Structure 1
Amino acid sequence: MFRGIGRFSVNRPWLVVALWLVATAALIALAPQLKPTSDQAEFLPSHFESVRAVEIQKDAFPQSRQPAAIGVFQRADGGALTADDKKEVGEIAAGLQGEKLAKITEVVADPAAVSPDGKIALVHVFASTKTAHDEVLVDSVGTLRTEAADLLSGSDLELGLTGPTATVLDSQEASDSTDAMVMMSTLVLIIVLLLVIFRSPVIALMPVLIIGVVFMVTMGVIATASEIAGMEAPSSISAILIVVLFGVGTDYTLFLLFRYREHLREGMQPKEALATAAGRVGETITSAASVVIVAFLSLLLSSMGMLSSMGLSLAIAVAVTLVAALTLVPAVFSLLGTAAFWPSKAWRKQPRNAIAGRVGSFAARRPAAIAGVSGVLLAALALGVFGFKAEYDTESSLPDNLESVQAMKDFQSGFSAGQSDPTFVYVKATGGAELDKGALDAYGKELSGVDGVDQVAPALVSPDGRVAQYSVVLDYRPTEDRAMDLVNGALRDTVHEAAPKGTEQYVGGSTAVLADVQTAVNRDYKLVFPIAAVAIMLILGLMLRSVIAPWYLMIAVGLGFGGTLGATVWLFQTGSNGLLFMLPVIVYLFVVAIGTDYNILMVARLREEIRSGKEPREAVQQAVTHSAPTIGAAAVILAGTFGVLMLADNSMLKQMGFAVAFGILLSAFVIGILLVPAVTTLAGPKAWWPGNRHDTPGRDGAEPAGDQDSDVLVGSEGR
């Protein structure tokens, strides 16, 4: 099959290119717009209490004022507000109210909303929509910020806008600039690395142009699939997709070019060499991509919509990249011919691979020492995992220089830590009768008595008298661990145990959402990790026709996962609230899936050398010598593209960029090139059981390794 696809793409290149251009134009024109969100509640299943609370609030209080933003006023000199300052705050609020911006219903200055030290005054901005991410509302808050700056011109006061929609506005603007920075840095990095490897400007630029087309197709397919599946994409998905597409896409292109160059050196004509390379590398790329796709698709089992939508998006991205690698890449290089290597003449010469040869010789002579040292190194790094602390507030990763972030810090310096974002408790009568006011007052006192609760506002009763809402201000910052522990523990216990008879109770608000996210993620860790591991092991077993090899390959990659996460904990967690709660899943899937690809290449080459009749030491030396250049080049490019995320201002993208880049380098250079060959050598023929029953050199029916299609798993090796 792969030979047929390769020959078709090479012999009909213009047709293949035309089909891709038509598909790209159609998706750009017809696909819906991808609308990412960072609202955690939108990613939780409907049965969680915090989500049910949102629905209760929408039904019982449809006309209630919805907080959109908070204006934090203070004097530029840091002193206490004067009577004239407070009067000016009221005038500015009235002026902003007079702008009548879309979906902003009120801009209110409450004379009582002044901090105890008299230094901060608040203006509350209310909206007609309950969705902080509403596009019209976000635009209006942006306009409000601009108008407020004009009104404050020449004043002694300073204003910072924070709150739900103001944070969304800053988050979107920061994300847009991050995407542009990541895209540009990734392009420069890939071009430079390809130029160093092949010394050809054509090869340096062409993969970038091809993947640019693939990126547009992928975004259209993801937007269409997300709309059909009813999924929301996480706000960070664009930056992640950029590095995945350009990193993995460049790797697959590299696999093809190495084998294409190898066949040219053997004397084949360009089209024949390219068609043969595409056919033989096709299975390599498909095998590698299937492991990654299966790993990403395992996220669909997650109860968190954020993880399942990310898994779907990334699986689609890799699938589209795979199709492009099998069709578009061979077609483009068929049109270019050997001119693709211009001006370099290195494609005509056999390389010496001196460094790889020395590494291969060392690996062949000292397998036990290499296995021991590599294992100890990985285990030592993995010790950091025991100190991992999850951070569930994605907004905490925003840069400190954003207005909403700084304004929130100013707010919390003058008011109770939880006052900016209170927790809400809803009590709903289950029968036809209305709620009893006396019982509601007594219930409010019970809530006030919970340790860690600062204050509880009197119950707000719905027009039909059947639902009551309590605004509960905590002593803690709404997104910190103590707040989540309180909401998920003592507060929820009191809410349910002390409630009036004949009622249902729900705890909602941002803290409750984060507490439910924590519960969902802990459940997902226990489900997704094992299922992804089993699926990958099954694929490895089928590809390698072995029961033994998949076990030690997965153990090796598991050590790589632990070492990667442990190193990230030691580097980033000191002095922070914790690491991105999704980081273990992301590291697990990327490091396990992509790291396994490098192991497949090495193990398959080892088996090929052994089947050709070489002694174990010679087989290891040859396998490492011929596989290390490709594994190393692919890993450096892929790690570099993820490492670009460390340039972002978003701390969670920094963590993700380092973790995946470090994990890929660890998987390639420590596990793929050293540990796996060493363990395979120590395992001997048992590594290939039961496939080795038919692979023994010289047995009847056993063909030379190089003549069998099954061995194209090593097709990406540069020689």
Structure 2
Amino acid sequence: MFRGIGRFSVNRPWTVVVLWLLATTALIALAPQLKPTDDQAEFLPSHYESVRAVQIQQDAFPQSRQPAAIGVVQRADGGKLTAADTAKAGEIAAALRDEKFAKITEVVADPKAVSPDGKIALVHVFASTQKANDETLVESVGELRTATADRIGSSGLEWAYTGPAATVLDSMEASDSTDAMVMMATLVLIIVLLLAIFRSPVIALMPVLVIGVVFMVTMGVIATAVELAGMRAPASISAILIVVLFGVGTDYTLFLLFRYREHLRDGMEAKEALATAAGRVGETIASAAGVVIAAFLSLLLSSMGMLSSMGLSLALAVAVTLISALTLVPAVFSLLGTKAFWPSKAWRTQPKNALSGRVGSFASRRPGLIAGVSGLVLVALASGVLGFRAEYDTESSLPDTLESVQAMEDFQTGFSAGQSDPTFVYVKSTGGALDKAALDAYGKELADVGGVAQVAPAVVSPDGKVAQYGVVLDYRPTEDRAMELVGGDLRDTVHRAAPQGTEQFVGGSTALLADVRTAVNRDYKLVFPVAAVAIMLILGLMLRSVIAPWYLMISVGLGFGGTLGATVWLFQSGSGGLLFMLPVIVYLFVVAIGTDYNILMVARLREEVSSGKEPREAVRLAVTHSAPTISAAAVILAGTFGVLMLADNAMLKQMGFAVAFGILLSAFVMAILLVPAVTTLAGPKAWWPGNRGAAAADEEAAEPLAGHGSDDLVGSRSR
């Protein structure tokens, strides 16, 4: 099948190119716009208590004021606010309210909302919608900031906005600048590395142009699929898609080009060499992409909409990249012919491959030593996983330079840490109206919970059947202690001490994060095993082996542990943790994408064994031929993910390092060293029940390899 696809693409290149251009044009014109979000509530199933609390609030208090932002006002000289200062703040707030910003209902400067030290005053901004990520509201907050700055003038005051909508605004602006930076840095890196590898400007530029087309097609496909599925993509998806598409796309292009160049060096005519290369690496690329797609699709089992929408988006991205690697890339290079390598003449001469040859010889002669040392290194790195702490506050990853982040820090110097974002408790009667005395007693019970700083009197709905309590915590709303309290003692008290004949719900940001943590812990127990089984099945089908997939999965499992452990040591410090999604991201990217290199190596090993070579000689030749391809592909892919470390977003920094490090570990430790070494030790058993003919032809290969006495094999055969 792959040979047929390759020959069609090579022999009918203009047909393939035109079809791709038509698909690109259609998707750009017809596909909906991708609308990412950072709202955690949109990513949790409706059965979680914090999500049900949101619905209770909407039904019982539809006209209630919804906090959208908080203006933090202080003197520029850091001194105490004077009466004139607070009066000026009230005057500006009244003027802003009169300007009637869309979906902003009130701008209130309460004279009592001054910090105990007298240095900070608050101006509350209320909205007609509780969705902090509402596009109109976010735009209005931006306009509000501009109008405020114009009115402050030389008053000697500093006025900055924080809170839900202000944070969404800053997050979107930071994401836009990050996407542009990541795209530019990724393109420059790929072009420079391809130029260094092939010494050809055509090859350096052409994959970038091809993947650019693939990127546009992918964004249209994802936007359409996400809308049809009723999903919302996470805000960070654009930056991740850029590095995935350009990284993986370049990898698959390299797999083809290296094999194409090898056949040219063997004397094949250009189109025949390209068609043969496309046919031979087609199965490898399809298997590699299949592993990645299966791993990403396993995220659809997640109860977290953030993870399931990310999984669907990335799976579609890799699927489109696979189709382009099998069709568009061979077609483009068929049109270019050997001119693609201009001005380099290296494609005409056989390379010495001195370094990879020495590595291949060493892997075939000292498999036990390599396996032992590699395993110890991976285990040592993996020990860092024991100290992993999850950070569930995605806002904590935002740059410190953003206005909302700085304003929140100033806010917390003057007010209780939990006052910026209270937890809400809702009590709903299952019968008649609620009893006021019972509600007062209930409020006192809530105030007695350790870690609760203040409980506001109950606000009762117009029909008297729902009461709302605002609970201020002693802790910052997004920190671990707050989540432990809200998800533990407070929620237990809410349900235990509630008036008879009522239902109770705990809501707010902290409750939401506590439920996110519960959902993520549940997902990890499901997604990881399912992804592992799917990957093993694909490996088994590709290799026609029952044995090899097991040690391949063990090796990538060690790679996952080593990658996450190294990330913990580098990024986790003090009270801070790592992004809660990092383990699943590392697992999927390192285990799935990193397995590409294992597949490429093992596919070449199987090819050499099938041609009748004994296991140790097959290992030497496979490493010699495959190591340059794997090294080049890994450096480029790791580099594209490493670009994320240039972002100001802490989440992207962590992700960039973890995936880049994991890919390099997968390529240079596992694919080039550990997997060939273990395959040598396993001998013909590695391919059971496949390749039995080749195994029977060389019974001596089944003898245990002690790592000596095989020097005569080195260089005895070559291609």
- TM-score, structure 2 length as denominator? 0.96
**Aligned equivalents of 1:331, 1:612: Cα separation in 2:** 30
- Which residue of 1 is the match for residue 110 of structure 2? 110
1:266 partnered with 2:266: yes
Letter in 2 for 1:90: G
1:362-377 equivalence runs, <5 A: 362-377=362-377
Report how far residue 604 of structure 1 moved. Answer: 2.5
- Which residue of 1 is the match for residue 542 of structure 2? 543
Report how far residue 22 of structure 1 moved. Answer: 1.2
- Which residue of 1 is the match for residue 521 of structure 2? 522
Letter in 2 for 1:2: F
1:151-190 equivalence runs, <5 A: 151-190=151-190
- Which residue of 1 is the match for residue 416 of structure 2? 416
Report how far residue 549 of structure 1 moved. Answer: 1.0
Q: CA RMSD in A?
A: 1.2
SS of 1:78 mapped into structure 2: coil
- Which residue of 2 is the match for residue 306 of structure 1? 306
Gap change, CA 1:326 and 1:692, over 3 Å in 2:
closer
**Aligned equivalents of 1:93, 1:607: Cα separation in 2:** 73
* 1:612–1:697 Cα contact (<8 Å) kept: no
* 2:454–2:472 Cα contact (<8 Å) kept: yes
* 1:455–1:473 Cα contact (<8 Å) kept: yes
- Which residue of 1 is the match for residue 666 of structure 2? 667
- Which residue of 2 is the match for residue 229 of structure 1? 229
Report how far residue 85 of structure 1 moved. Answer: 0.4
**Aligned equivalents of 1:448, 1:8: Cα separation in 2:** 74
1:634 partnered with 2:633: yes
- Which residue of 2 is the match for residue 715 of structure 1? none
**Aligned equivalents of 2:34, 2:600: Cα separation in 1:** 36
**Aligned equivalents of 1:12, 1:360: Cα separation in 2:** 38
Report how far residue 273 of structure 1 moved. Answer: 1.7
1:437-452 equivalence runs, <5 A: 437-452=436-451
SS of 1:37 mapped into structure 2: coil
1:500-649 equivalence runs, <5 A: 500-575=499-574, 577-649=576-648
Report how far residue 98 of structure 1 moved. Answer: 1.5
Report how far residue 698 of structure 1 moved. Answer: 5.0
Letter in 2 for 1:38: D
* 1:613–1:697 Cα contact (<8 Å) kept: no
1:469-484 equivalence runs, <5 A: 469-484=468-483
Report how far residue 696 of structure 1 moved. Answer: 3.2
**Aligned equivalents of 1:609, 1:290: Cα separation in 2:** 23
Letter in 1 for 2:300: L
Q: Which runs of 5+ in 2 are unaligned?
A: 699-717
1:227-266 equivalence runs, <5 A: 227-266=227-266
Letter in 1 for 2:549: P
- Which residue of 2 is the match for residue 493 of structure 1? 492
**Aligned equivalents of 1:340, 1:575: Cα separation in 2:** 52
1:194 partnered with 2:194: yes
1:388 partnered with 2:388: yes
- Which residue of 1 is the match for residue 318 of structure 2? 318
* 2:274–2:334 Cα contact (<8 Å) kept: yes
**Aligned equivalents of 2:575, 2:490: Cα separation in 1:** 26
Letter in 2 for 1:270: A
* 2:543–2:606 Cα contact (<8 Å) kept: no
- Which residue of 2 is the match for residue 338 of structure 1? 338
SS of 1:234 mapped into structure 2: coil
Letter in 2 for 1:216: M
Report how far residue 4 of structure 1 moved. Answer: 1.8
Taking only the aligned residue pairs, the percentage that are identical comes to 84
Which whole-Å deviations, capped at 9, do the CAs of 1:692-712 have from their partners, x for residues lacking one? 42443659xxxxxxxxxxxxx
Gap change, CA 1:247 and 1:122, over 3 Å in 2:
same
Range with greater deviation from structure 2 (257-266 or 66-75): 257-266
Letter in 2 for 1:36: P
* 1:27–1:217 Cα contact (<8 Å) kept: yes
**Aligned equivalents of 1:36, 1:575: Cα separation in 2:** 32
Report how far residue 615 of structure 1 moved. Answer: 3.4
Letter in 1 for 2:250: T
Letter in 2 for 1:517: V
* 1:9–1:328 Cα contact (<8 Å) kept: yes
Which whole-Å deviations, capped at 9, do the CAs of 1:207-258 have from their partners, x for residues lacking one? 0011111111101110100000001100000000000000000001111111
* 2:609–2:615 Cα contact (<8 Å) kept: yes
* 1:300–1:311 Cα contact (<8 Å) kept: yes
- TM-score, structure 1 length as denominator? 0.96
**Aligned equivalents of 1:624, 1:693: Cα separation in 2:** 22
- Which residue of 2 is the match for residue 35 of structure 1? 35
Which whole-Å deviations, capped at 9, do the CAs of 1:43-92 have from their partners, x for residues lacking one? 00000000000000011110000111000000011010001001001011
* 1:74–1:119 Cα contact (<8 Å) kept: yes
* 1:443–1:500 Cα contact (<8 Å) kept: yes
Report how far residue 616 of structure 1 moved. Answer: 3.2
Range with greater deviation from structure 2 (168-177 or 267-276): 267-276
**Aligned equivalents of 1:441, 1:144: Cα separation in 2:** 38
Q: Which runs of 5+ in 1 are unaligned?
A: 700-717
Count of residue pairs the alignment pairs up:
700
**Aligned equivalents of 1:204, 1:469: Cα separation in 2:** 62
